[in-house]
Chain A
Amino acid sequence: MKPTFPIEDTKDLALMANTIRQDLLKAIHAAGSGHPGGSLGMADIFTILYFHALQHDPKKPLWTKRDRLVLSNGHICPVLYATMAHAGYLSIDEVMTLRKMGSRVQGHPHREEIAGLETSSGPLGSGLSQAAGMAIAAKMDDAGHTVFALTSDGEHQEGNTWEGVMLAGKYQLDNLVQIMDRNYIQIDGNTEDVMPLDPVREKYEAFGWWVTEVDAHNYKQVMNAIDQAKNVKHKPALIVAYTVPGKGVSYMEDQYGWHGKAPSDAELEQALAELQDIRAQIESGTYEY
């Protein structure tokens, strides 16, 4: 089925996100390594962006008026690849070559491999500043598009992120929307144990940002927040997206151990079965999204 943008029906979006979750897990399983936790946690947001919110055209990936999506924490690229594939940028078969020799679907995204990737990423803390640079360029040219920066909470431990936060505030980049994956986990444990970040809202507001907070798995909330964020004037916008890492797979949810490892054959089988159950619940209207 070829999707037609934008999808307005949250049920259709939730089904798409469910498919994307299954596909990204298959890809990580086939690769034998990768990052399922953050990828599953952000699947709803990616679906909403690519199938509802973004102004883009997969047939013209370099269309100058496209909204830019900068994924800063590149390790969650399985969700980016799977979403882009379903949107029409590459094939699902190709997503299944994740991390394999000769594949364009690199372990961390490489801009030059796939048209539509805005940047190469993986090293943390650099995406927000690149997005800010894109937003400044768009302002200089009076271009109307929005730059979306997708960041993680953990990478807020990088100084570079805060350098970008300050700059975006200074230049009042109201064409910049940051969505922070606030999942409270990182490789070594809970973010607040490793290096506390809360209170996020107060910190960002002090730097001149407009801030809103959403349940990342509540479609209406996320869609409204993006609409509001795009309409903010004279300030950059931050959507703090409270995500459940590993969302949709019981044994992965909220477990930082699933930040960066592939499921075994049995684990994949269980994960896909659980996601199929959720799919049935979405279809029957008994699942909350």
Chain B
Amino acid sequence: MYMPINPLVKLSKHWNTPDALEKLGTRDGFGKGLVEAAKKHADIVGLTADLGESTRMHLFAEAFPNRFIQVGVAEQNLVTVASGLAAGGKIPFASGFGAFTPGRNWEQIRTTICYNNQPVQVVGTHTGITVGEDGATHQVLEDIGLMRMLPNMRVIVPADAEQARKATLAMAKNPKPTYLRLGREKFPTFTTKSTPFEIGKADVYYRGSDVTIIAAGPQVYDALMVAVALKGTVAVEVINMHTIKPFDLETVLKSVKKTGAVVTVEDHQIAGGLGGAVAEQLALHLPAPMEFIGVHDAFGESGTAKELLEHFHITQKDIIKAIHCVLARKK
């Protein structure tokens, strides 16, 4: 029997029962993945800017104390020392809060990592409004844009902790300048060890012919839940766009040719983010009506993650509204 869920992506058998899924932050998958990767690759070194436990770098530091460098609260130093380590033949993973890495050290990332083409793995945690109570200063909503504009840079936004683990392994295996965008807030872990992951290869998780939802980060799970909720009324296709750059144009075009309508979903500014990236490509290759879920040119504020997602209209309800809007615009 045909099921809209793509069997090839091998999601958890409980994927449509959120309460049955383990909830983790994507940072947790990174911490685990880095230790795993470091066992295989002796050249991996880890650095953090006084955020060992917060970024889950402490797991690496405990396992490989001689390969760990604590730079202190100094984000510019974090990435420039990492660049030097890469020049010395290492594969550095440099972690911090997204608001400051890459928020504060953008020029150093641009010149010493991207222009130098050194394989530094920049890891920003605590991204998006789901950082919650800390408020706007710490809720980075611009990091995807900052990083995807840089030549040589790859930008990866894992959908859950398991995918973050796999992304970390993939980055270590094929090291090039990369930004890994992670979160603190716990979300359902719905992918499995068997779920395919390849940098630069977007995955269709749910198949439909009326509208394409392109999502990145934990919002992929919301998109899936929406697809299920609308089953029988709107045939929704869900793409997990875990790699924003390089952009998997082929997968997006194949879907949009079929559906002719797109909704993007992200916990980031729409301008410069996933929504912007998709719009740039579709404007050139296949113009189609689009709706954008994300933050519209605003700063965040204090609150719980749930309250903030509601306030900024990044919920399943909002995705459904956007789908109805985009369908109404479809010719």
Residue numbers of A with Cβ under 8 A of B are 64, 68, 70, 110-112, 118-123, 125-126, 129-138, 140-141, 159-160, 163-164, 166-167, 171
Complex Cα distance, B89 from A118, in Å, reads 12
Name the 3 nearest CB pairs between A and B, nearest first.
A133-B84, A137-B88, A163-B77
Q: Check if B71 sits within 8 Å of A140, measured CB to CB.
A: no
Q: Which residue of chain A has its CB nearest to the CB of B82?
A: A133
How many B residues face the partner with a CB closer than 8 A?
A: 28
Give 20 new A-B contacts, CB below 8 A, not counting A119-B116, A140-B67: A64-B89, A112-B116, A126-B76, A126-B111, A129-B76, A129-B83, A133-B80, A133-B85, A133-B88, A134-B85, A135-B84, A136-B85, A136-B88, A137-B45, A137-B87, A140-B45, A141-B88, A141-B89, A166-B74, A167-B74
Complex Cα distance, B87 from A78, in Å, reads 23
Contacts A/B (CB < 8 Å), 26 sampled:
A64-B89, A120-B112, A121-B111, A129-B76, A129-B77, A129-B81, A129-B84, A130-B81, A130-B83, A133-B83, A133-B88, A134-B85, A137-B85, A137-B87, A137-B90, A138-B88, A140-B67, A141-B89, A159-B76, A160-B76, A160-B108, A163-B72, A163-B74, A164-B77, A166-B74, A167-B77
Q: Check if A126 sits within 8 Å of B87, measured CB to CB.
A: no
Q: Check if A164 sits within 8 Å of B81, measured CB to CB.
A: yes
Q: Is B115's CB within 8 Å of the partner chain A?
A: yes
Q: Which residue of chain B has its CB nearest to the CB of A158?
A: B76
Q: Is B107's CB within 8 Å of the partner chain A?
A: yes
Q: Is B117's CB within 8 Å of the partner chain A?
A: yes
Complex Cα distance, B88 from A120, in Å, reads 15
Task: Label chain B's interface by main secondary structure.
Answer: helix
Complex Cα distance, B107 from A129, in Å, reads 14
Instruction: Say whether, besides A160-B77, A164-B77, A167-B71, A134 and B112 are in contact (CB < 8 Å).
Output: no
Residues in chain B near residue A126, CB distance under 8 A: 76, 80, 108, 111-112
Q: Check if A118 sits within 8 Å of B87, measured CB to CB.
A: yes
Q: Is B150's CB within 8 Å of the partner chain A?
A: no
Complex Cα distance, B112 from A140, in Å, reads 21
Q: Is B21's CB within 8 Å of the partner chain A?
A: no
Residues in chain A near residue B45, CB distance under 8 A: 137, 140
Residues in chain A near residue B76, CB distance under 8 A: 125-126, 129, 159-160, 163
Residues in chain B near residue A167, CB distance under 8 A: 71-72, 74, 77, 81
Q: Check if B69 sits within 8 Å of A164, measured CB to CB.
A: no
Residues in chain A near residue B84, CB distance under 8 A: 70, 129-137
